[in-house]
Amino acid sequence: MIALRAREITMSLTIYHNPRCSKSRKTLEIIQDNGIEPNIIEYLKNPPDAATTEHLAALLGLTVAGLLRKSEADFTEARDLPSLEDNTALARWLKQHPKVLQRPIVVDNDRDLAVIGRPPENVLELLQG
C-alpha cells in the first residue's frame, strides 16, 4: 500500500479507468488508499468525446498521438486511422477506438493537472501536490 497520510488530502480527481487493466486497478487503489474517492470513468463504456481527449492531451503536455497505445491491435490493424499530426481527427477516431487510449489517465480537476498511471506510482505526483 502506498499512502500519503502526512496531511489531510481533499481533492477532486477523475480517473479514466479500465477495470481489466492491472495498472489501472493499482492506480485506483493508490488513490483510494489515500482517502480519495475519484470520479471513475470507464472509458471503454463511455469514451471521451474529441474535445475531452484534446483537453486530456493538453493537460499531459502531449499531442493526441501521445495518448495512443500503438501496440494495440485496434491501432496496428486500423484501416481508418487519420494522420497522427491531426489532433482533432485523431481525437474523434479515439472515441470510436477507445481501447487505443493510454490508461489510466488521472486528472486533478481542481488544479487542471493530469498524469498517466504507468507506472501507477505516477499518481503520487498529483497526491503530493
35-94 pLDDT, tens digit per residue, is 999 999 999 999 999 999 999 999 999 999 999 999 999 999 999 999 999 999 999 999
What fold does the segment set 13-127 form as a domain? Glutaredoxin (3.40.30)
Q: Is 21 a catalytic residue?
A: yes
Segments making up each domain of the chain, as ranges: 13-127
**107 vs 9, residue with greater confidence:** 107
Q: What is the pLDDT of residues 10-48, one digit of tens each?
A: 689 999 999 999 999 999 999 999 999 999 999 999 999
User: Cell numbers 490508461 correspond to what residue?
Assistant: 103
User: How far is residue 42's CA from residue 48's CA, in Å, rounded to a whole number?
Assistant: 10
pLDDT 10s digits, 95-121:
999 999 999 999 999 999 999 999 999
Task: Please identify which of the residues 9, 21, 65, 81 carries the catalytic annotation.
Answer: 21
pTM for the model: 0.90
Burial (0-12, 13-18, 19+ Cβ within 10 Å), 71: exposed
